[in-house]
Amino acid sequence: MATNEEVLTHLRGLRGSVSNAITTVMEYENFGPLMTAGSRTAELAKITTVPAALQHASNCSICNGWDGSNA
């Protein structure tokens, strides 16, 4: 089981990833129409594809241990 500090660090990372993704979507919504077609396509790819590094594992040992429902 993870320590409280490990859980907090883990959740901070998740929160940061989600916050960054929300910011990217909001920027696209606000500035997408002002971009060139090429830039718009590149920015749209950022919000329609979740990088593997940001995908949270369904079998995350920290979350499963903290939640307790899968123990």
21-69: pLDDT as tens digits: 889 899 999 998 999 999 999 888 888 877 766 677 777 888 777 655 5
Q: Which two tokens stand for residue 65?
A: 């241990």
**Four-residue CA torsion sign, 52, 44, 35, 15:** negative
| Distance, CA of 17 to CA of 30 (rounded, Å) | 20
Q: What is the pLDDT, as a whole number, of residue 45?
A: 87
